[in-house]
Amino acid sequence: MSDRTQRLAEQNFWDQIFELRDEQREARKNGIQVIKESQLPLELNRQGLMRWYMHPGIKDTILSCYLVYSQEIPPGSRSGRLLFGGDQVIYVVAGQGYTVLDGVKHPWKAGDALNLPLRKPGITVQHFNTDPEITAKLIAVEPNFLQCASVDRGTGFEQLENAPEYDRAKQG
């Protein structure tokens, strides 16, 4: 028997699913429902200035099925350029500028929404602020495919009856 086979044989993966379900339920029971911008740090990263509302690394929100962040682009500046799968909606809160999506320029202003398509090979995106005085502010939302469904999968997950072999093994 290989080491991997031995390690796997020592686990009860079915019970682990229920343990994960219970952990997810407990986290949701006490999760934050109102995320306040004033309590979020402004992060400087390779994409620019961002505030994360929802992220796979943020574990205290009631939902975890979206990635949500705001991005600030200083006057006359731009975001980083990104290649990713797409499937993102961006609402322009303030400012004006344009987005280059796969080489095509798309102008926007406050009140507009950008719909970045989901494409199998991915998309290339970069945002530009053309206003010389006003910081552009964008809010981006996309599915967090890592945690969209959870173990409950929206319908509940309960063991209604055990297999007889399981009950016999537990008894004897």
Give the CATH class of 37-143: mainly beta
Question: What predicted TM-score, i.e. pTM, was given to this entire model?
Answer: 0.78
Q: pLDDT at position 98, please?
A: 98
Q: pLDDT at position 155, please?
A: 59
Domain residue ranges in the chain: 37-143
The per-residue pLDDT for range 23-64, each reduced to its tens digit, is 888 888 889 999 999 999 999 998 999 999 999 889 899 888
Among 118, 122, 115, CA closest to 140: 115
The per-residue pLDDT for range 2-31, each reduced to its tens digit, is 999 999 999 999 999 999 889 888 888 889
Among 123, 35, 136, CA closest to 91: 136
pLDDT at 146 over 70: no
Percentage above 90 pLDDT, the chain: 62
Q: pLDDT at position 156, please?
A: 66
